[in-house]
Structure 1
Amino acid sequence: MSDSANVVLRFVLYVDLMLLFGVALFGLYSLKGQERLSGTVLPFHRLSTATVGLGALLSVAGMVLMVRAMSGESDVTELRPHLEMMLSETDTGLAWAVRMIALAVAGLALMLNPRAPGISLVIAATAGGISLASLAWNGHGAMDEGSRRFWHFTTDILHLLAAGAWLGALLAFALMAQPRALQTEAHIRLLARAVRRFELVGALVVLIITVTGVVNYLFIVGPKLDEVLLSQYGVLLAIKVLLFAGMLALAALNRFHLGPLLERSLREGQYRVAAHALRRSVVVEMAAAFLIVGLVAWLGTLSPEME
């Protein structure tokens, strides 16, 4: 598998599973009752169907390409014994199998949405979280052993789940703040309430990402900085940190200025300008998040010592 193809596949899979988990989770803490019904506020069914299907397809493609690269076999028909060995004898194969089962469960949960939207989102968020957590076995933690391996995986999983919660919320806000959705005061009030409910979740997400990011750095690189910054890994990591700082600035803007501005504008009856300003900020923040996930996908293929 070429390095570029590997990075692109990892990037799309990371984004896909983060959105599957994050959007379903958003529906649980930001919406209530019939608001969780697909199509009422957010197209949960369409989004989940797309992410489940794409996640399964990308997972199969990734497994085939990985086995092909490890075995050196160019003929797909000769890969079967190698695939069976990977699935039955390695932790990576077990994580892949768990991911596929979780995706199937998330897909089945979609059928419950019209009758029990809350239960449907609970199942989808749980299954989505399991499928997202399985990506930790594709990272640097897989190279550790013993208790270090356990704690590295725990940190990786928390980092992935927090990032998924953030990215899913950003997509949800972007969809809720579309111009065609901002036609009624009731919908904008719902948007303002969702922004307010995300405040605590967002603060927890930022805390988890920051702490687990530092711990992951120590697991992978150790307590050193100067030498790492001279490598390709260090340059990409520095760019990632700068983008994360930019996301924090935008999140603070939403939390302390645009969110309160939207609520004030609702009381004054002039809410569309504030809603559009919030949407622009969220779109920029989401673009930065996509760039960070792309860097994460790339960093996962590199060693800190690589020049």
Structure 2
Amino acid sequence: MSDWASIALRFGLYMDFMLLFGMALFGLYSLEGRKRVSGAVLPFRSMLAGTTVLGVLMSVASMVLMASAMSGESDFAELHPHIEMMVLETDVGFAWVVRIIALVVGGSVVLLHQRAPVVSLSVATIAGGIALASLAWSGHGAMDEGSRRYWHFAMDILHLLAAGAWLGALVAFARMAMLDTLQTAESIKLLARVVNRFESVGALIVVVITVTGVVNYLFIVGPELDAVLLSTYGTLLLIKVVLFAGMLVLAALNRFHLGPLLQRSLREGEYRVAANALRRSVLVELSAAVLIVGLVAWLGTLSPDMETAVT
């Protein structure tokens, strides 16, 4: 039960911080002027407030669960000194403190969003990036030593930030493509513009995720392949790769077919079919991304050498 609780919390933390970082970043590079104000296009204020508060709560729960798992204690009075030791005397505790401070600062700036949306989104992007990066200290990189440890952390952090940027963009696209939103030609024109604007950002995200993913695999497993595929870790990793490949196909479909189709349809005045096709594609891509995040949360609790798949 504790293993599944840990996986569920890891999944929640990954999703929460990726959304905080990715959607705030999306607001900065995809929208302009008053469109960055919450409610004009996307509900930034409720999203920023919700993810920061939920992130703090889940972070506290994860620290309690981690201390309980390491000490074997379940009573809070007995658990308190173990939590204090972890927070004050370990690297993961230091990363946790930095995360909490970043979330509190990011959440506080939400109050300024309507008056200063750029400032609010910028601070939220930084806070979300710090919170997301802090999760690397509870991953496989924490087991390395020397310079290898820092390189592994760097790859983990870049991988997490790129994944967060992609997930945030997908959620933003899905929200903008909802049926109750696409009621006017202007809203569809805006969707077509941001999809087209995502081209260069999306290409950079794919390159970073691919390169850091390969490097992280070599850090964790090495050049071996056959033996890893016989483990639970390898099976889950293979599923993750297949889902990622599917996301690449859908992203290419959106960029080279559905996006241009939507723009042509706008000029012709018949855009409903193209808009619906783009929405369905984005929702499928988003579903694959959520599954990948779930697999990442699970993979983080496994060792390639210890977990053997059932045959």
TM-score, structure 1 normalization: 0.99
Q: Residue type matched to 2:158 in 1?
A: L
1:142 corresponds to: 142
- Runs of 5+ consecutive residues of structure 2 not aligned to the other structure: none
CA distance in 1: counterparts of 2:275 and 2:36, whole angstroms: 22
Shift of 1:48: 1.2
2:189 corresponds to: 189
Q: Does 1:207 align with 2:177?
A: no
CA distance in 1: counterparts of 2:75 and 2:113, whole angstroms: 43
Shift of 1:13: 1.0
Q: Does 1:159 align with 2:154?
A: no
The C-alpha deviation readout for 1:96-127, integer Å capped at 9, x for no partner, is: 00110111111012111111111110111111
Q: Does 1:86 align with 2:93?
A: no
CA distance in 2: counterparts of 1:304 and 1:292, whole angstroms: 18
CA distance in 1: counterparts of 2:179 and 2:59, whole angstroms: 35
The C-alpha deviation readout for 1:246-286, integer Å capped at 9, x for no partner, is: 00000000010000011111111111211111110000000
1:221 corresponds to: 221
The C-alpha deviation readout for 1:215-261, integer Å capped at 9, x for no partner, is: 00000000110010011110110000000000000000001000001
After superposition, residues 228-243 of structure 1 pair within 5 angstroms as 228-243=228-243
Shift of 1:49: 1.3
After superposition, residues 1-307 of structure 1 pair within 5 angstroms as 2-306=2-306, 307=308
Shift of 1:53: 1.2
CA distance in 2: counterparts of 1:119 and 1:108, whole angstroms: 12
CA distance in 1: counterparts of 2:146 and 2:38, whole angstroms: 44
CA distance in 2: counterparts of 1:116 and 1:190, whole angstroms: 22
CA distance in 2: counterparts of 1:72 and 1:4, whole angstroms: 17
CA distance in 2: counterparts of 1:73 and 1:90, whole angstroms: 19
CA distance in 1: counterparts of 2:272 and 2:46, whole angstroms: 27
- Runs of 5+ consecutive residues of structure 1 not aligned to the other structure: none
CA distance in 2: counterparts of 1:20 and 1:162, whole angstroms: 13
CA distance in 2: counterparts of 1:24 and 1:109, whole angstroms: 12
Runs of 4+ in 1 over 4 A off after TM superposition: none
CA distance in 2: counterparts of 1:107 and 1:304, whole angstroms: 38
Shift of 1:211: 0.2
Aligned residues: 307
CA distance in 2: counterparts of 1:14 and 1:143, whole angstroms: 20
SS in 2 for 1:180: coil
Q: Residue type matched to 2:207 in 1?
A: L
Q: Residue type matched to 1:176 in 2?
A: M
The C-alpha deviation readout for 1:156-177, integer Å capped at 9, x for no partner, is: 0000000000000000000001
CA distance in 2: counterparts of 1:81 and 1:47, whole angstroms: 35
Of stretches 75-84 and 257-266 in structure 1, the one that deviates more from structure 2 is 75-84
